[in-house]
Amino acid sequence: MGSDQQRGCADASLHTASFASFKTVFLSGFSLAFFGIGLMRLWYQFNFYNLHFTADYGYVTVGANIVRVAVIALLVFLSYRTGFSHASKAFFVWSGLVLMTLSGLFYLVDLFFSTTSFEVARFIIGGVGLVGGEIIWVFFLERLKPAEAFFYAAGGLALSCLLSLAAGYLSHEVFGLLNLFIPALSVFAYWRAMDLLDKGKHPSGRLLGHAAHGGVPQDAAVASGRSDGEEKVDRLYSTQQRGYLFTIIAAFFLYAFLIGMALGYPDGRVRELSQAMRTVHQLLVIAVIAATVWWVLVRGRGFSLAGFWFFVNFLMIAAITFLMSGWPGSEELATFFATNAITCFYIPLVFFIYLIGRHSDQPTVLVYGFVYGGALLAMCIGRIVVHQIGPHLEYGLWLLICMAFVALVEMVLVVYPRPDVPCPLGCELKAVPKASGSARTIAPDEVEKPSQDSIEGDSLASFADAFRLSATETEIARLLAQGRSRTVIAGTLNYSENTVRNYARILYRKVGVHTKQELLDVIEQLRASA
């Protein structure tokens, strides 16, 4: 067994460090939520991006996405004014289910009765319905630990690619019928996953501990106006690092704009992919996600936005390079890389929306509306720009040079080091070192119930529950009680000292103390009365 410090850090970050432990932590009692997110992405891919046959539907996709952006802005604004109550969440559920199903029905009518066309209606209705269909999974993800949210977002995308791969070999009629039932299956999975959370269990079947969701009981969460059973970990991004956040969000928007330009080059027309290229695309995305999940959750090496950003930009630069080359077949290869870029962009976009919401005063759905909706709008603008300017350029090379410049700018915005940023996005999934520098393996028998010495008995657990501490705050309190210095705590948690100082300030404020000694006195009082 590892030391107390090692055990606490590993449990807090869910770095399992072995495949056997990974299966125990993440895959025991396999949740329908994994399938629900995958099915929602499958519906989105099939109905809006036609990922079985082409890169997208061209200007029809652009129009549908603009409708989505408008609806996202309207519904999120109205929900913000009235609060995210059970009634508003139910509205998102039922609007998504009904409208997406109706859009699928229109698709079947178009397919079987060519005399009548509902194409425009199904894209508009489907775009409106998809807003609710996506937002409900934001409600689910925001209640998970960072590692779990990362697993469900990445794993759901991988599953959608696997299902899309199989669907590509089905006839339009067969998959059209299956498409009709996908929204209902996704909503059923959502209800089941949220029911498990409301009953105090993780989707994986494990009991929720005090550290899982900031230590807030369900009744306390409801009393505070939050019906999702979770208190925000802190308010780090509401009071600090706003410039850093807006820089990252600007990079997201620029990358989405670049994707729109790449998909539409040179004049906005629809470009087809062969079934062989489509198959390679889906398999590549699945392989990338499997490798990333292994690296982050099994090996415990952490998830770096800058590292993943290099990868998605490699895909985009490869697409631009093939467009510049003019080689035979280069256009399809460019479309192939651009399609991979837009699919892989989903992971950092959704996961970092979750992280921003976790560390700010604003509800995660509002962050989703601003960041995700803004990215969709930027992608549409990129497509429109190419459509309007491309045909008038004598040499398409100028357009490609502009695309390369946009790629350079958004890469610098993300990867440029910021020494003044103590807690960058993704810090929750950094590697958890032992004294030897590697992550400790979580044994299967440690998952259900932490041993007494891992949190120094029930006294610290009661302390965390009493003051509604997050997992990180509880861990810092435990290390402070052991007499550890800020430097040692920073090295143990793999944070900077500034980050530890920020968390300590939040900890002191919650407990109502001003010094380390006063904090230790409160812990000792609880220990004595236990």
CA 47/CA 118 separation, integer angstroms: 13
| Residues paired with 201 in a beta bridge | 207
Q: What is the pLDDT of residue 276?
A: 86
Per cent of the chain over pLDDT 70 is 76
The length of the chain is 530
In sign, the C-alpha dihedral spanning 398, 262, 333, 296 is: positive
Bigger pLDDT: 379 vs 511: 379
pLDDT over 90 percentage in the chain = 18
What is residue 449's predicted lDDT score, i.e. its pLDDT?
Answer: 39
Residue carrying the six token digits 């995308």: 157
Rounded to whole angstroms, how far apart are CA atoms 436 and 125? Answer: 56
Q: Are 426 and 352 in contact (CB under 8 A)?
A: yes
CB 106 within 8 A of CB 139: no
Q: Which residue has the higher pLDDT, 53 or 78?
A: 78
The DSSP string of 180-191 is HHHHHHHHHHHH
Distance between CA atoms of residues 351 and 154, nearest Å: 9
Token couple for 68: 């989505």
Least confident of 12-21, 185-194, 456-465: 12-21
Cα–Cα distances (Å) from 240 to 94, 354, 360, 426, 457, in that order, read 37, 17, 10, 16, 34
Rounded CA-CA distance 12/492 in Å is 12
Work out the average pLDDT over 211-221. 34
Can you give the pLDDT at residue 57? Answer: 61
What are φ and ψ of residue 520, in 5° steps? -65, -35
Tokens representing 485 are 């210095």
**pLDDT at residue 39 greater than cutoff 80:** yes
**380 vs 422 pLDDT, higher one:** 380
Integer Cα distance of 479 and 3 in angstroms: 12
Task: Give the pLDDT band (50/70/90) at residue 46.
Answer: confident
The answer on pLDDT for 282 being more than 80 is: yes
Over residues 25-51, mean pLDDT: 79
End-to-end CA distance of the chain: 26
Query: How does pLDDT run across 338-347, given as a tens digit for each residue?
Result: 889 988 998 8
Write the pLDDT tens digit of every residue in 157-183.
999 999 988 887 888 888 889 999 999
Q: How many other CB atoms are there within 10 angstroms of residue 98's CB atom? A: 14
| pLDDT value, residue 124 | 85
299: Cα within 13 Å, side-chain hemisphere:
10
The rounded Cα 82 to chain-centroid distance in angstroms is 25
More confident site: 530 or 197 = 197
Q: What does the pLDDT read at residue 240?
A: 61
Tell me the two tokens of residue 312: 């998605």
CATH 1.10.1060.10 fits 4-20+31-201+238-415, yes or no: no
> How is domain 457-529 classified at the architecture level of CATH?
Orthogonal Bundle (1.10)
C-beta pairs of 178-182 under 8 Å, 24+ apart in sequence: 179/43, 179/46, 179/47, 179/104, 179/107, 180/101, 180/104, 180/105, 180/108, 182/39, 182/40, 182/42, 182/43, 182/100, 182/104
Q: Out of 64-73, 187-196, 289-298, 506-515, pick the least confident.
A: 506-515
What's the sign of the alpha-carbon dihedral 391, 396, 398, 399?
Answer: positive
Mean pLDDT computed over 197-209 = 55
The pTM of the full predicted model, rounded to 2 decimals, is 0.74
pLDDT digits (tens, 9 = 90+) for 368-412: 989 999 999 999 899 888 888 877 776 678 888 889 999 999 999
Residue 250 has pLDDT above 90, yes or no: yes
pLDDT at 284: 93
**What pLDDT was estimated at residue 262?**
86
Of the segments 236-250, 259-273, 313-327, which one has the largest average pLDDT value? 313-327
CA–CA distance, 306 with 348 (Å, rounded to integer): 10
pLDDT digits (tens, 9 = 90+) for 69-102: 888 888 777 766 666 677 778 888 999 999 999 9
- What's the token pair of residue 62? 């652009």
Positions of CATH 1.10.10.10 in the chain:
457-529
Rounded to an integer, the average pLDDT of 217-234 is 38
Confidence band of 530 (pLDDT split at 50, 70, 90): low
**Average pLDDT for the chain:** 76
Interatomic CA distance for residues 395 and 428, integer angstroms: 47
Kindly report which listed range (57-66, 77-86, 346-355) carries the lowest average pLDDT score. Answer: 77-86
pLDDT for 257 beyond 80: yes
Cβ-based burial of 43 (10 A; exposed 0-12, middle 13-18, buried ≥19): buried
pLDDT at 290: 93
**Range list for CATH 1.20.1250.20 in the chain:** 4-20+31-201+238-415
